[in-house]
Amino acid sequence: MSVIIAGERSGVGKTTVTLTLLASLRRRDRSVQSFKVGPDYIDPMFHQHVTGLPCRNLDPVLTSEAYIQQCFARHSQLSEYALVEGVMGLFDGIGHGALGMGHGQEKQKSTDFASTAHIARLLDLPVVLVIDCSRLSGSVAAIAHGYQSFDQRIKIAGLVLNRVGSDRHLSLLKDSLEPLQLPILGVLRRQDNITIPDRHLGLVPTAELPELNALIDRLADLGDTCFDWQHLLPLLKSKPLPHPPHPPHPPSSVKIAVARDRAFNFYYQDNLDLLQQLGAELVFWSPLEDAAIPKDIQGMYFGGGFPEVFAQQLAENTSVRDGVKTAIIKGMPAIAECGGLMYLCEQIIDFEGKSWAMAGVLPTSAVMGGRLTLGYRRAVALQDNLLVKAGTTVNGHEFHRSHLTLTPTQPLFETSRYDCDENMGCEGWGLPANVHASYVHLHWGESGEIPQQFLKECRKL
């Protein structure tokens, strides 16, 4: 058993409620495994900071329904409690597949595929619905009733009323909700001292928040008093194994340098786990702080992140930039996703128009702009490359505000939107051939051949 923390729409406070629950559980010295619906990187960082355990993404577009069930079952059994944070509004998903093609029946699409509701049905979990009450009183009942009745397959275990203004406000809300007989599992008042800063791609990551521990303490204080723990704890309780299995990793046969610091920190934990399970020793290092690339490595992995925010510091670390370029030119395999791709460019041009020199592996520049490129992608490989063979289709996700000044002459992928046939163009750099540089983030959970192929090339060094 577990619950999913869902919102009636985006911005209602799902992450605050989730972190408040996690912080209060950890203060009680309870082990808790968290999960996040969708392709998010930053919310899981906050989860992990509180719980001490890597948060796991549940995304049927990037993986599969079967993978989600296996992932949840495997990791939820390792802790006393388990909690899933949803994405957007409860029923907000994407179009996917035909529901029926009977005689005279038009093709229909499921519009909540990959939504929080989809994951709730898939895992057979009850939902705790967070409602932003800041501009509501009696209308809260209509909202709650609509979500309760919209899909009978979804069980609403109760409500969390967020941003409640006063005792009188709370009384009006409770009076309105009473006929629905939906338990109120939590009440959060308007909090001026609990704010997580954000910027152009969402919340500011944990590594950049020196006051984060104080914030988590305030959330734990809030959680101790604002929730109905008598009803919540049984819902959150998982079924831990008496002696959880820890399959040993095979002897390390290849060393991979993984860039992980304030500039590069967008990684799916499952991807890192897969590399280790296949015999890789992961060497974490910082292109911002270190004086050189790690020694005796056979491959490099640059995840996404915010290189544009730290462009000056990256540019000033010339020894590392030169080391990265030299290693790749000499044939070292390298994966570079989104922010990693930007780092391999000749330069990054920031929001103020200033140019900062980067590694110079790719003959193009990354320019920051106001336009947000966002969405799932279906990507077909146009050539054999470091990770996949020509003709292979992979599903990924894009999320960036930069564009490249030059497009590759031999791109890695032809991309289209996942939920329709709209062509999104060609992208990705595979020259030199030992590089895979792309804006498309990939989750390898259902594509074990990708890390296998990468390590196979790394072992050749």
**CA atoms of 456 and 449, how far apart (whole Å):** 10
Q: Which of 226, 338, 345, 458 is catalytic?
A: 338
Strands 362-381 and 413-417: antiparallel
Output the six-digit token pair for 380: 């077909």
Q: Is residue 420 flagged as an active site residue?
A: no
**CA atoms of 193 and 216, how far apart (whole Å):** 11
Which residue in this structure is represented by tokens 């051939």?
433
Q: Identify whether the C-beta of residue 95 lies closer than 8 Å to the C-beta of residue 113.
A: yes
Phi, psi (5° rounding) for residue 264?
-130, 105
**CA atoms of 355 and 338, how far apart (whole Å):** 18
Output the six-digit token pair for 203: 């919340």
| Distances from the Cα of 445 to the Cα of 15, 57, 140, 288, 369, angstroms | 25, 10, 40, 29, 32
> Using H for helix, E for strand and C for coil, what is the string for the chain?
CCEEEEECCCCCCHHHHHHHHHHHHHHCCCCEEEEEECCCCHHHHHHHHHHCCCCEEECCCCCCHHHHHHHHHHHHCCCCEEEEEEEEECCCCEEEEECCCCCCCCCCEEEEECCHHHHHHHHCCCEEEEEECCCCCCCHHHHHHHHHHHCCCCCEEEEEEEEECCHHHHHHHHHHHHHHCCCEEEEEECCCCCCCCEECCEECCHHHCCCHHHHHHHHHHHHHHHECHHHHHHHHECCCCCCCCCCCCCCCCEEEEEECCCCEEECCHHHHHHHHHCCEEEEEECCCCCCCCCCCCCEEEECEECCCCCHHHHHHCHHHHHHHHHHHHCCCCEEEECHHHHHHEEEEECCCCCEEECCCCEEEEEEEEEEEEEEEEEEEECCCCCCCCCCCEEEEEEEEEEEECCCCCCCCEEEEECCCCCEEEEECECCCCCEEEECCEECCCCCCHHHHHHHHHHCCC
Catalytic residues: 338
